[in-house]
Amino acid sequence: MAGQAELFDITIVGGGGAGLTAALYASRGNLQTGLFEKMVAGGQIATTDDVENYPGFPEAIAGPDIAIKMEEQAKKYGAEIIYGAVTGLERDGQNFRVITDQGTFNTRSIVLASGANPRKLNVKGEKEFAAKGVSYCATCDGALFRGKDIAVVGGGDSAIQESLFLTKFASKVTVIHRRDELRASKILQQRAFDNEKVEFIWNAVISEIKGSKKIETLQLKDTKTGALRDFNVQGLFIFIGHDPVSDYVRGLVECDDHGYVITDQDYKTNVPGIFACGEVRKGSTRQLVSACGEGCSAALAVQAYLDNLA
């Protein structure tokens, strides 16, 4: 492993679709490539059951399967995948120091591909019932809810796609959405409307999660009238979007008010030598196929940057 004494040409932060594709292109471009991943390779796809819209797989492909293959492919060409968390970046002349829980590494360039984490509801009971009925990952926890009545909160693609997946286990899935119209793509909406196990509660938010040892009741607030009511469930899956993982670069790289990293069209940040791609980047379309495309483009931009330095 390249340690303190060695110098990576490119260090990629995050092993989702964007980061793994950047690693593939950089290593095939003969750059000494390091990639840090703090959990498992694949990022959000590693916890997605079926990916139906990645070109070339008309029958869909399981998220974890595509993640494993992307990791294998990057390693095949020499990318070094290091399982560890990046906690900070520092400039060191023209190079950078990457501070991680595995030590400090030196690099000539950096690609930020750290993605985004599931957003929390931030209501009373959410922390208390985490892993006691509250989940953010249907692929991980769905099977625990066999034959149970569960709720999903959110109205986007994730909420609807994962609700459909959860019908494989649950006896009923109730989608709770704060408006009376879904944000999800029409094809997913239609599948949910056609599925007799999926029901909807419109114009409602969860104001409290209650129970004793496990989750038992959601307190719902009507967004039109403000009226409160209790709704009994044995599980709650929260899919209300994501927040960018960029805390380790705040103050060094320009971010917008939400923490998304700002880049130009060549994926360059305001700091020469630091690039960003995928869901951590402001303006990303948040699709696996575009994350991979951005990872490729960022790696090619790094190659051009390093060639110009030499």
Cα(79)–Cα(82) distance, rounded to whole angstroms?
10
141 is catalytic: yes
Question: Nearest approach, Cβ of 169 to ligand NAP (angstroms)?
Answer: 19
Question: Nearest approach, Cβ of 26 to ligand NAP (angstroms)?
Answer: 25
Question: Nearest approach, Cβ of 266 to ligand NAP (angstroms)?
Answer: 23
Active-site entry in 65, 137, 149, 243: 137
Q: Which is nearer to ligand NAP, 25 or 239 (CB)?
A: 239
137 is catalytic: yes
Contacts for 257 with CB less than 8 Å, ≥ 6 apart: none
Q: Which is nearer to ligand NAP, 15 or 63 (CB)?
A: 63
Q: Do 149 and 172 contact (CB within 8 A), yes or no?
A: yes
Q: Which is nearer to ligand NAP, 104 or 117 (CB)?
A: 117
Q: Which is nearer to ligand NAP, 133 or 278 (CB)?
A: 278
**Strand extents, DSSP E, 161-203:** 172-176, 198-201
Q: Do 238 and 134 contact (CB within 8 A), yes or no?
A: yes
Computed on alpha carbons and rounded to an integer, the radius of gyration of the chain in Å comes to 21
Active-site entry in 9, 92, 101, 140: 140
Cα(50)–Cα(27) distance, rounded to whole angstroms?
28
Question: Nearest approach, Cβ of 12 to ligand NAP (angstroms)?
Answer: 21
Contact positions toward ligand NAP, by CB under 6 A? 53, 121, 153-159, 161, 178-179, 183, 205, 239-242, 286
Cα(34)–Cα(2) distance, rounded to whole angstroms?
8
Cα(287)–Cα(292) distance, rounded to whole angstroms?
9
Q: Which is nearer to ligand NAP, 40 or 205 (CB)?
A: 205
Question: Nearest approach, Cβ of 302 to ligand NAP (angstroms)?
Answer: 26
Q: Which is nearer to ligand NAP, 165 or 275 (CB)?
A: 165
Report the interhelical angle of 186-194 vs 157-166 (nearest 10°). 30
What residue number has its CB nearest to ligand NAP? 156
Phi, psi of 160, deg, nearest 5: -80, -45
> Could you give the count of Cα atoms lying within 13 Å of 198 in the half-sphere of its Cβ?
25
Report DSSP letters for 92-145, one per residue.
ETTEEEEEEBTEEEEES-EEE---EEEPP---BTTTTTBTTTEES-HHHHGGGG
Question: Nearest approach, Cβ of 204 to ligand NAP (angstroms)?
Answer: 9
Residues marked active site are found at 137, 140-141
